[in-house]
């Protein structure tokens, strides 16, 4: 799951070397924190949040197949 998010985000940004995805196990599921360069935050969010919503939808559908709950959050460097 982490690798999927990392690949998707690296394709969107101008500085792929600044992309990192941290996976944290929690009681209610898994948290994936995406970190990107400050200049690339808008590209990952997209207009009206459409891009980050699409990423969350893809990840949640993959996680649901495995019977897991996954949340995706975006932070900047």
Provide the pLDDT for residue 28.
Answer: 83
pLDDT at 76 over 80: no
The string of pLDDT tens digits covering residues 10-67 is 999 999 999 999 999 988 899 999 999 999 999 999 999 999 999 999 999 999 998 8
- Three-class SS state of 21: strand
Provide the pLDDT for residue 31.
Answer: 94
pTM, full prediction: 0.88
- Short-list 48, 49, 43, 47, CA closest to 8: 43
Domains and CATH numbers, the chain: 2-76 (3.30.300.20)
CB atoms < 10 A from the CB of 61, how many? 10
Provide the pLDDT for residue 70.
Answer: 93
């Amino acid at each position: 799951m982490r690798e999927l998010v990392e690949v998707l985000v690296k394709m969107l940004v101008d500085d792929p070397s600044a992309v990192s995805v941290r996976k944290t196990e929690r009681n209610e599921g898994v948290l994936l924190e995406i970190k990107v360069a400050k200049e690339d935050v808008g590209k990952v969010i997209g207009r009206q949040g459409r891009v980050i919503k699409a990423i969350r939808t893809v990840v949640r559908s993959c996680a649901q197949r495995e019977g897991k709950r996954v949340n995706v959050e975006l932070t900047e460097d």
